[in-house]
């Protein structure tokens, strides 16, 4: 059950784009920007408001990779595992992060909701491989040691 404030935020966003089916994608984008994920209950609520069938709203949201129904941590770390990064040893970076944070390919987010770790196929900065991204910021030429140091720094900021 979501807190009432989520619905208020959704109402404001719906007002911004208007109660029409074509507002669906921008509304979903804004909701995800606020919460870093798209709560399913909120998607159903919004779909009803703008006259889109719930099933249709879900199929649009699942079609676009960018939308996530899973709640994410304060820091979303994307480790690039594209070819250039893989060749330059991105896998040990991912393993080091998983180990440090107690995460795995099945468990993406820490229980304290501070970190989410995911892989991505290319961050578009292959010349700086191996790369990783923390929220909107790209970190070039990473090593497992640099990744752990960054986690420690973020832990300090996140508390």
Per-residue tokens: 65: 């990779």
Alpha-carbon gap, residue 79 to 130, rounded angstroms: 8
How many positions of this chain bind ligand FES (CB under 6 A)? 12
Minimum Å distance from CB 96 to ligand FES?
17
Contact region with ligand FES (CB under 6 A), list: 46-54, 55-63, 83-91, 92-100: 83-91
Between CA 77 and CA 133 the distance in angstroms is 6
Classify residue 29 by burial, with Cβ atoms within 10 Å: 0-12, 13-18, 19+: middle
Site string for ligand FES, 116-135 (x = CB under 6 A): ------xxxxx--x-x----
Q: What are phi and psi of 118, to 5 degrees?
A: -135, 165
Residue 114 or 122 having the CB closest to ligand FES: 122
Residue-wise over 100-123: b if at least 16 C-beta within 10 A, else e? bbebeeeebbbeeebbbbbbbeeb
Q: Does 10 bind ligand FES (CB under 6 A)?
A: no
18: left (phi over 0), alpha (psi -120 to 50) or beta: left
Task: Indicate which single residue of 22, 44, 62, 83 sits in contact with ligand FES (rule: CB under 6 A).
Answer: 83
Chain residue whose CB lies nearest ligand FES: 82
Q: Closest distance between ligand FES and the C-beta of residue 143, in Å? A: 15
Q: How far is the CB of 119 from ligand FES (least distance, A)?
A: 10
What sign for the dihedral angle of Cα 150, 34, 124, 116? positive
Which residue ranges make up the site for ligand FES (CB under 6 A)? 80, 82-85, 122-126, 129, 131
């Amino acid at each position: 059950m979501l807190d009432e404030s989520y619905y208020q935020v959704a109402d404001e966003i719906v007002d911004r784009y208007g109660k029409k089916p074509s507002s669906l994608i921008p509304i979903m984008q804004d909701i995800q920007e606020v919460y870093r994920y798209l709560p399913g209950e909120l998607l159903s609520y919004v779909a009803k408001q703008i006259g889109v069938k719930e099933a249709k709203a879900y199929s649009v949201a699942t079609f676009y990779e960018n939308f996530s129904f899973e709640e994410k941590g304060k820091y979303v770390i994307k480790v690039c595992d594209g070819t250039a990064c893989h060749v330059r040893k991105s896998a040990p970076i991912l393993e080091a992060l998983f180990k440090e944070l107690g995460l795995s390919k099945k468990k993406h987010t820490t229980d304290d909701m501070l970190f989410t770790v995911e892989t991505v196929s290319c961050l578009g900065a292959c010349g700086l491989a191996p790369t990783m991204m923390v929220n909107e910021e790209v970190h070039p030429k990473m090593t497992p040691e640099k990744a752990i140091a960054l986690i420690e720094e973020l832990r300090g900021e996140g508390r």
